Each structure stands twice: as structure tokens, then as C-alpha cells.
């Protein structure tokens, strides 16, 4: 799947079955379902990509302290760009891993 195809899928009623669980989390986040995305992030705490997603989601929530904690657990620097830029970066990273 390309980034453009992923973006197009955001207009669907539910995420495509072919998406990985992390991409489904970002799909839910983009569709305003932070809770579903957060549940996915919590499902594999201690896994760097899940922890990075967790950090991003706490940034979305506005909880910078908690986001910082999760960035550290993920082994990542706190993202300096916008939330949209981080969302795009995460999607692109995860699409490359498929």
C-alpha cells in the first residue's frame, strides 16, 4: 500500500483488513478515535514502534510529560514538528515495514 492509498482509506467506514495493527491505530487516530488508537499502543508496551505510537498519541492528547516518557521508552527524540508531520512520518515508516 502506498501513502496515498492509505490516505484514501481514511474515508472508509473502517480500516482495511490488510493494514497492520499499528497502521490501524493511525487510521483510527486520523478518524478521531483516539481511544481505539491508544488501546492498540498499549497492547504491546515495551515494543519500540508501539511505544513511539504511544508517545505520539500523548502528544495529540496534549500530555507532553507522558509523551516524553514514551519517546524515551521508544528510544526516540521528542518529535519537533507538527502533529500532522509526525503522523505522516509514522505512517510512512510503518508502510515501509510491510
For 41-80, the pLDDT digits (tens) are: 999 999 999 999 999 999 999 999 999 999 999 999 999 9
User: What's the CA gap between 25 and 69, in Å, rounded?
Assistant: 20
pLDDT value at residue 80: 94
Percent of all residues in the chain with a pLDDT value above 90, rounded to a whole number: 98
- pTM for the model stands at 0.95
67-96 average pLDDT score: 97
For the four alpha carbons of 39, 42, 48 and 53, in that order, the dihedral sign comes to: positive
54 in Cβ contact with 81 (< 8 Å):
no
Per the listing, cell 483516539 goes with 34
**Residue 98 pLDDT more than 80?**
no
User: What's the CA gap between 79 and 18, in Å, rounded?
Assistant: 28
Amino acid at each position: 500500500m502506498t501513502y496515498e492509498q492509505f490516505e484514501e482509506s481514511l474515508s472508509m467506514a473502517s480500516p482495511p483488513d490488510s493494514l497492520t495493527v499499528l497502521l490501524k491505530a493511525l487510521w483510527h487516530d486520523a478518524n478521531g478515535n483516539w481511544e481505539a488508537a491508544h488501546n492498540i499502543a498499549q497492547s504491546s508496551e515495551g515494543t519500540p514502534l508501539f511505544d513511539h505510537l504511544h508517545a505520539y498519541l500523548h502528544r495529540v492528547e496534549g500530555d507532553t510529560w507522558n509523551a516524553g516518557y514514551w519517546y524515551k521508552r521508544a528510544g526516540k527524540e521528542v518529535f519537533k514538528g507538527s502533529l500532522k508531520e509526525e503522523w505522516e512520518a509514522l505512517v510512512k515508516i510503518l508502510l515501509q515495514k510491510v
